[in-house]
A and B are shown apart, each in its own frame.
Chain A
Amino acid sequence: MLEQLPALQVAITLTAAPVVMMLGRASRLAWVLTTLSCWASFAVALLLFNQVADGSVISYEMGGWAPPWGIEYSIDAANAWVLVIIGLISALVMPFARRSVEQEISESRIALFYSAFLLANAGLIGITLTADAFNIFVFFEISALASYALIAMGQDRRAVLSAYQYLIMGTVGTTFLLIGIGFLYIMTGTLNLGDLAARLPEVSDTRTIRAAFGFIAVGISLKLALFPLHLWLPNAYTYAPSMVTVFLSATATKVAIYVLLRFVYGVFGFEFSFVELSMAWLLMPLALLGIVVPSLVAVFQTNVKRLLAYSSVAQVGYMILGISFASVLGLTASILHLFNHAITKAALFMAVGCLVYRLGGVSLTQLAGAGQRMPWTMGAFVVAGLSLIGIPLTAGFVTKWHLLQAALEGGLWPIAVLLLGTSLLAALYIWKVVEAAYFQEPEDSTEVVHEAPLGLLLPTLLLTASTVVFGVFGSFTVQSARTAAAALMGGVP
């Protein structure tokens, strides 16, 4: 049983999807089934993580076909880490989803909605698990197509347009990825990531391989919303249903970053990517621009969801910056931030979901007085906001500390200074929300607004508490991130 875990990890949600779809109008049952499969999937992720936490690697041959003919699933400390993130977020978002989805999605579509959610989930898990380049592309498409549908189901009519925007950009991204993979296949005759890594050095000095690298890097950068390829993200996050925004913001870009890491370190190798092609000099300026520009844009937003979406683009910048340092410490910081930002941003978007549920929207004017009316929700928002800024004793600080250490290690102290400055920008845009919610009187003070229902509130508080727990007891996450970084670097100093 235990050796079949890798297959189960993706199979649970993938097979649950069509079943849920067939439930039709039995929306409550659809929710129960989806929740159970998400929890089962999370349990499997934890079991897998437990097996590889010591740095070992699990190799699983799909259908018993040996690679390179069959598809290999390979799990090491790095992708097990990402699996835990996906599992944790989907396990927590489901209890939150029930009432939020009932309010935002029409009854007849709920089963379809959950089915699409399960597909998106399975797609992301598949991307993370597989050690086959073409398989990565296939799972990318599965998760992307499902995500387009999920976003288009948002209440606002602009949701459809933003899903379309995402579809165009996403398709360009995956097509680039496919072209790149095609080039690699032409030159090496294999699609297995391990084999690719072994055979690439012989042919790496060719234009085809360099072109392949370019196509893959740009394609994935579109998916992970690296500035300036982020244009699809703010609209998609703003108009998607609350629960979808929580899930996608915490997992989709993180998985794409993982794929970038896998290709850059695992397939092309440190030597080729950073020494021969000097990738750091491309990533670093983009990462820095990606931190500064969206942070500035976020300061001027009046819709909290959009504000947080721009902040997400900036946070992607932090993760890419860590990669661009081309050091174990920098990579550790990036991998740490995958997790720390996932829980932080999911907590924030959940709090926003609670606000939407009661207030109908989250423009700053609608938030007036929310501090008194929904004290728990706003309390969660403030605490998670502190983590986003990177205040000590929150998860965000643990990342920031390591990222800054990595900058100093590389002798890049101006970047360290800049990072401290941008955390002040984050403080500024979080403060805007706090000021609106706590210091402004609501327009209609007679209207009675209750705290969000427990089903929405509990997962929000749980995630918020976890940002503090992982900020206070960071040893576990730091250690895991180090192991993952070591697994990716594969012995490279």
Chain B
Amino acid sequence: MSDAALIALPLLVPLIGLLLIVASGRVDSLRDGITVATAVAMFTAVLQLLPKVSAGERPRLELFELFPGLGITFEIEPLGMVFAMLASGLWIITALYAIGYMRGAKEKHHTRFHAFFAVALFSATGIAFAGNMFTLFVFYEVLTLSTYPLVAHKGTDAARAGARTYLGLLLGTSVGFLLMAILATWWLAGTLDFTPGGIMAGRVDPAYGSVLLVLFLYGIGKAALMPFHRWLPAAMVAPTPVSALLHAVAVVKAGVFTVLKVTVYLFGLDYLGELATSEVMLYVAVFTLLAASLVALRQDNLKARLAYSTVSQLSYIVVGAMLVNQIAALGGGIHIVMHAFGKITLFFCAGAIYVATKKTEISDMDGLGRRMPITFAAFFLGALCVIGIPPMGGVWSKWHLIMGAFEAGYGLVVVALMISTLLNIGYLIPPVIRAFLVAPKDGGGGIREAPLLCVLPLSLTALGCIALFFLGDNLAGLLAGMFSVAPAR
């Protein structure tokens, strides 16, 4: 297949899936089957690009030009490849889980739910494949808009209020800061193309560059840098599959993916090092990382605790970008994958607990582990992955990040990462201890594991966390390609 077809296919599949899902909306089992089939087809389509990208090629598709020099363009590079594989691969598992969850929790409007899920995945792929910042921005906004109905899904006042915070903060930051930064970049550098080594060096005065960096990092609201992180806990009103795939993987990772993409391909790491604000933003990220962990410690609601944990973990990746060296940036890229697997497992477990028991507060979960051993075992594995303990994949990203911090000479950041690891243990392990070791208050009679379609996916992702420990090197090798200059086209 030609490059154009290879790139177009993963984008078209979810759109075709969307039409089929809407068309088959009246027949539940058919629609659910189509959802899973779409996810599988999309993942397969994404995989077709992998051999080319790992061979160092950069498939490119120029769709159309808005006006001279600015167009919708796709170019696949290693980071985007990884993000696309991650989002589409986990969609398969989430689709299975969502079917089990939506039926088990007796949610309504399944068709709308699955349809907007497909749109969200379409836009996440667009973000991953974007060849310039403008294309990325367009898909970034589509992703925000398409996930709004998912967050507001329950239609209650609380759900609407949460969704309004979600939309307001994400749209506000993206229009107020990100679009501004894009406009200024276009004006100063004359291009928005993602280029290895960056486009700013020699074109943009570092004084302006410093301001641009702040605008970009706060404009990418999906990276949840404090004080613009409130949307993420607010989004927890959504059904758990949404929290799992979108607010542990697709949406938030689209944010930090954009941060990495901007730092590596727009600023360039060398240029970034010259900016006065890169150090400032490093400390903002370190602060977010610690503060969010502390807040997470105090949350009794399991999903809220996981949400703040995500805020904290996203900052690991921003820290990786702001340390301005290749090892740390690589660590950030790896962490996108590792945290995704760990956190999606944790969210799947939270959802399974809700489906089986309707319980949402950690203090009510005493002794549940004896009734739901698989779920809580998976929770334990996911927690270890997020914390970064071998034999879990999470260890590799922390390894690279700490090495990067050493190389950059930031002892303080190393200490902060260590403290954060302890905090991670502090808020992720107690639920497991309570579940397995504390005797249940009410005897816990009649509680059983959630349906198979809930338990199977969370087991798969938990095993994935272990598998990633052994695949860490392959992943690092693929991602390292983002620093090499693309062959002349």
A→B interface (CB under 8 Å): 391-393, 398, 401, 404-405, 408-409, 413, 416-417, 420-421, 423-424, 427, 471-475, 478-479
Closest chain A CB from B181 CB (angstroms): 11
Interchain CB contact under 8 A, B67 and A478 = yes
Answer yes or no: B138 CB below 8 A from chain A CBs: yes
Q: Which residues of A contact B180 (CB under 8 A)?
A: 416-417, 420
Min distance, Cβ B139 to any Cβ of chain A, angstroms? 10
Looking at B183-191, B409-417, B442-450, the stretch in contact with chain A turns out to be B183-191
Contact present for B187 and A408 (CB under 8 Å): yes
* Chain A contacts for B70, CB-based, 8 A: 401
* Nearest 9 pairs of A and B residues by beta carbon: A474-B67, A478-B67, A408-B187, A392-B138, A474-B66, A404-B183, A475-B67, A420-B175, A420-B176
Q: Is B231 on the interface with A (CB-CB < 8 A)?
A: no
Report the nearest A residue to B188, measured CB to CB: A408
Summarize A's interface: helix, strand, loop or mixed.
helix
List B129-174 residues whose CB lies under 8 Å from chain A.
134, 137-138, 141, 171-172
How far, in angstroms, from A479 to B67 measured CA to CA in the complex? 8
Identify whether the interface residues of B are mostly helix, strand, loop, or mixed.
helix
Q: Tally B residues with Cβ within 8 Å of A.
A: 20
CA distance A409 to B183 in the complex (A): 11
- Please give the distance in Å from A441's CB to the nearest CB on chain B: 13
Residue of B nearest to A475 (CB): B67
Kindly list chain A residues whose C-beta atoms are within 8 Å of the C-beta of B227: none
B66 CB contacts on chain A under 8 angstroms: 393, 398, 471-475
In the complex the two chains form, is B67's CB within 8 Å of A393's CB? no
In contact, B183 and A392 (Cβ under 8 angstroms) = no
The 8 sampled A-B contact pairs (Cβ below 8 Å) are A392-B134, A393-B66, A393-B138, A405-B187, A408-B187, A420-B175, A421-B176, A475-B68
Contacts of B175 in A (CB 8 A): 420, 423-424
**A392-B134, A401-B183, A408-B184 as given contacts; A478 in contact with B176, CB under 8 Å:** no
Residues on B with C-beta less than 8 A from A421 are: 176
Q: Is the CB of A420 within 8 A of B179?
A: yes
Is there an interface contact between A409 and B187, defined as CB atoms closer than 8 Å? yes
Q: CA–CA, A475 to B69, complex, Å?
A: 10
A405 touches B186 (CB 8 A): yes
Determine whether the beta carbon of B186 is less than 8 Å from that of A392: no
Please, which residues of chain B bring their CB within 8 A of the CB of A472?
A: 64, 66
B68:A408 contact, CB within 8 angstroms: no
Contacts of B138 in A (CB 8 A): 392-393
Interface residue ranges of B51-71 to A (CB < 8 Å): 64-68, 70
Q: CB < 8 Å: which of B67, B137, B172, B183 contacts A416? A: B183
A408 touches B183 (CB 8 A): yes
- Are B176 and A392 in contact (CB-based, < 8 A)? no
Interchain nearest-CB distance for B36 vs A (Å): 30
Closest partner residue, chain B, to A407 (CB atom):
B183
Q: Which residue of chain A is the closest to B137 with respect to CB atoms? A: A392
Identify the interface centre among B134, B171, B175: most chain A CB within 10 Å of its CB. B175
Interface residues of B in 351-391 (CB under 8 A from A): none
Q: Give chain B residues whose Cβ lies under 8 Å from the Cβ of A473.
A: 64-66
Q: How far is the CA of A408 from the CA of B189 in the complex (A)?
A: 13
B141 pairs with A405, CB closer than 8 A: no
Query: CA–CA, A420 to B171, complex, Å?
Result: 11
A340 CB, min distance to chain B CBs, angstroms: 12
Give the complex CA separation of A404 and B70 in angstroms: 15
Contact with A along B27-68 (1 / 0, CB 8 A): 000000000000000000000000000000000000011111
**Supplied contacts A408-B187, A473-B64, 20 more A-B pairs, CB within 8 Å:** A391-B141, A392-B134, A392-B141, A393-B66, A398-B67, A401-B67, A401-B70, A404-B183, A408-B183, A409-B187, A421-B176, A424-B171, A424-B175, A427-B171, A471-B66, A472-B64, A473-B66, A475-B65, A475-B66, A478-B68
Instruction: Report B183-225 CB contacts with A as 1/0, cut-off 8 Å.
Output: 1101100000000000000000000000000000000000000
Residues of A within 8 A of B67 (CB): 398, 401, 474-475, 478
Q: Are the CB atoms of B183 and A405 closer together than 8 Å?
A: yes
In the assembled complex, the Cα of A35 lies from the Cα of B187 at a distance in Å of 45
B183's nearest neighbour on chain A, judged by CB, is A404
Q: Compute how far the CA of A479 lies from the CA of B66 in the bound complex, rounded to whole angstroms.
A: 11
Q: Smallest CB-CB separation from B168: which chain A residue? A: A424
In the assembled complex, the CB of B45 is this many whole angstroms from the nearest CB of chain A, namely 24
Complex Cα distance, B215 from A413, in Å, reads: 13
Complex Cα–Cα for A151 and B67 (A): 38
For A439, the closest partner residue in chain B by CB is: B160
Chain B residues with Cβ under 8 A from A398's Cβ?
66-67
Nearest Cβ on chain B to A294's Cβ, whole angstroms: 20
Nearest-neighbour CB distance to chain B for A396, whole angstroms, equals 12
Measured in the bound complex, the distance between the Cα atoms of B66 and A398 in whole Å is 8
Nearest-CB distance from A299 to chain B (Å)?
Answer: 15
- Specify the chain A residue showing the minimal Cβ separation from B211: A413
